[in-house]
Amino acid sequence: MKEVTKMTTHTFHKDTWELYKSLEMSKQLTAGETLSKLGKDYPEIVAMSSDLSKPTRLWDFGKEFPERFFNFGLAEKNMVTAAAGLASTGKIPFVSTYASFLGVLAAENIRTAVAYPNLNVRLIGTHTGIAMGFYGTSHHATEDISITRAMANMTVISPADGAALAEMIEESVKTYQGPIYFRVSRGREESVYEHNENKVQNKIGKANILREGNDLTIIACGIEVNEALKAANQLKEQGINARVIDMHTIKPIDTEAILNAAEDTGAVLTVEEHNVQGGLGSAVSEILMESDLNCKFKRHGFYDEYSLIGKPYHLYKHYKLDGEGIASVAKEFLG
C-alpha cells in the first residue's frame, strides 16, 4: 500500500511539473500576449488575476503594464466584484483564473455584479473541463457553461485554440459591448486555426463550418473541435461523411448554422468537455426543438456525472472525448 501511494505521488508531481513547463512554453494561452498588444492602443484595458498570472499568461500583460495589473490573491469573488467596479468607471477589465474558481466559485458575483448591470467585464476561465487531471474533481470545471449561459446579458464563448481566442478578445475590445465569459483550456491543445489554410475568421456569434458532410453533423466547442475533426477523418474512412461545426459562441448561438446542418444532414451530434445538462448540447437542442425539422439528435459529453481523477489523456479516452471515441459514439448514434 505504501508503494502504491509513493508511485501515485510521484506521478502527480511529474504530471504537475509537465503541466507548468508546457504552460510557460505554450503559445496557445494567448490572453496576456494579445492584451499586451491591445493595451498600447486601449489604455482602458486592465487585467486581474488571483495568484495565477503565470498559468493563465496574464503575467505577459502585467510585465508590460504593471500599473494596470492587479493580483487579488485567493479572493476570486472579490476580484470579480472589483472588476465590476472598474468597468463602471469606463475600464475594460480582463479577469482570469481557473474556470473552477471563476465560472463556478464566483458565479453569484458574476451574476449580480457583472451580468445584472450589463458591464463590460471579460471573464477568462482557463483549464476547463478535465484539463487539470490529477488536481481532482474540485478543479474540474464541467458546469460553467450551464451556469454562465443561464445569466441574462452574458455572452459565452469556448474558442477552439489560442488563435481563435486572440481574434475574439480583439473583437471584444474593439466592437463588443456587455459581459463575456471565455472558456479556454490549459494551453496544450492542438491548433485548429493557427495554420488555417482557408483563413477562417472567428467572429463572435458566428459558427465556423470546418468540414462539409451530408451524413451527419458534429457540433463541437473548445478543445473538442479538433477531436471532432479527427473523428470525421476516421468516419470518412468508413464511408460516413460528417460535417464539423465549431460552435465557439454558445450564447448567442448561431441558430442558422444549426438549422441548416439539421436540414442538410438529418442527424446532429454535439460534443463538449462539459456536463450534457445545460451545456452546448442543451443549447443546440433548444433550437432544434423549437423548429419543425425532423432530425436525429444526440448530446455527448459528461452524462450528468462528476469526472474521475487521472491524467487528462486517459480521461479523454475513458469518456470517449478523443477522436476515436467520438467516432465510435457517432457510429452507434447513426445505427
The yes-or-no answer on residue 143 being catalytic is: no
Query: Which pLDDT band, with edges at 50, 70 and 90, does 188 fall under?
Result: low
Q: What is the model's pLDDT at position 190?
A: 82
Q: What is the model's pLDDT at position 200?
A: 76
Q: What is the model's pLDDT at position 63?
A: 87
Q: How far apart are CA 227 and CA 190, in angstroms?
A: 9
List, in order of start, the domains of the chain with CATH numbers. 2-183 (3.40.50.970), 208-334 (3.40.50.920)
Q: What is the model's pLDDT at position 29?
A: 56
SS3 111: helix
**In the predicted model, what is the mean pLDDT of residues 223-232?**
97
**In the predicted model, what is the mean pLDDT of residues 244-265?**
98
Q: What is the model's pLDDT at position 4?
A: 31
Query: Which pLDDT band, with edges at 50, 70 and 90, does 10 fall under?
Result: very low
Q: How far apart are CA 330 and CA 322, in angstroms?
A: 12
Q: How far apart are CA 112 and CA 276, in angstroms?
A: 25
CA dihedral 106, 110, 111, 117 (to 10 degrees): 160
Q: What is the model's pLDDT at position 11?
A: 35
Q: What is the model's pLDDT at position 135?
A: 87
Q: How far apart are CA 107 and CA 115, in angstroms?
A: 10
Q: What is the model's pLDDT at position 59?
A: 78
Q: Are 68 and 39 in contact (CB under 8 A)?
A: yes
Assess whether pLDDT exceeds 90 at residue 204. yes
- Pairing assessment for the beta strands 92-98 and 45-49 based on DSSP bridges: parallel
Among the ranges given (148-162, 194-208, 214-228, 256-270), the one the predictor scored with the smallest mean pLDDT: 194-208
Question: Could you report the per-residue pLDDT of 295-335, keeping only the tens digit for each?
Answer: 999 999 999 999 999 998 899 999 999 999 999 999 999 98
Assess whether pLDDT exceeds 80 at residue 98. yes
CA distances from 203 to 94, 207, 243, 247, 255 (A): 19, 8, 20, 11, 15
Q: What is the model's pLDDT at position 196?
A: 60
**In the predicted model, what is the mean pLDDT of residues 262-290?**
97
Q: What is the mean pLDDT of the chain?
A: 88
Sign of CA dihedral 79, 126, 206, 150: negative
Assess whether pLDDT exceeds 50 at residue 16. no
Among the ranges given (28-37, 243-252, 253-262, 272-281), the one the predictor scored with the smallest mean pLDDT: 28-37
Cis peptide bond prior to 43, omega within 30° of 0: no
Among the ranges given (8-22, 163-177, 235-249), the one the predictor scored with the smallest mean pLDDT: 8-22
- Pairing assessment for the beta strands 122-126 and 242-246 based on DSSP bridges: unpaired
pTM for this entry:
0.89
**In the predicted model, what is the mean pLDDT of residues 106-130?**
96
Residue tagged active-site, from 3, 44, 76, 194: 76
Residue 301 host element (H or E): strand 296-302
Q: How far apart are CA 247 and CA 161, in angstroms?
A: 13
Q: How far apart are CA 277 and CA 142, in angstroms?
A: 10
Beta strands in 107-236 (DSSP E): 122-126, 155-157, 180-183, 208-211, 216-220
Q: What is the model's pLDDT at position 7?
A: 29
Q: What is the model's pLDDT at position 197?
A: 58
Residue 48 host element (H or E): strand 45-49
Q: What is the model's pLDDT at position 198?
A: 54
By the 10 Å C-beta count (0-12 exposed, 13-18 middle, 19+ buried), 296 is classed as middle
Of 332, 286, 282, 285, the closest CA to residue 302 belongs to 282
Please report the DSSP string for 223-290 in residue order: THHHHHHHHHHHHHHTT--EEEEE--EEES--HHHHHHHHHHHSEEEEEEEEESSSSHHHHHHHHHHT
By the 10 Å C-beta count (0-12 exposed, 13-18 middle, 19+ buried), 237 is classed as exposed
Dihedral pair phi/psi, residue 329, rounded to 5°: -65, -40
Angle at 154 between CA 152 and CA 159, to 5 degrees: 145
Position 267, amino acid: A
Among the ranges given (32-36, 148-152, 192-196), the one the predictor scored with the smallest mean pLDDT: 192-196
Q: How far apart are CA 84 and CA 88, in angstroms?
A: 6
Assess whether pLDDT exceeds 90 at residue 74. no
Q: What is the model's pLDDT at position 33?
A: 86
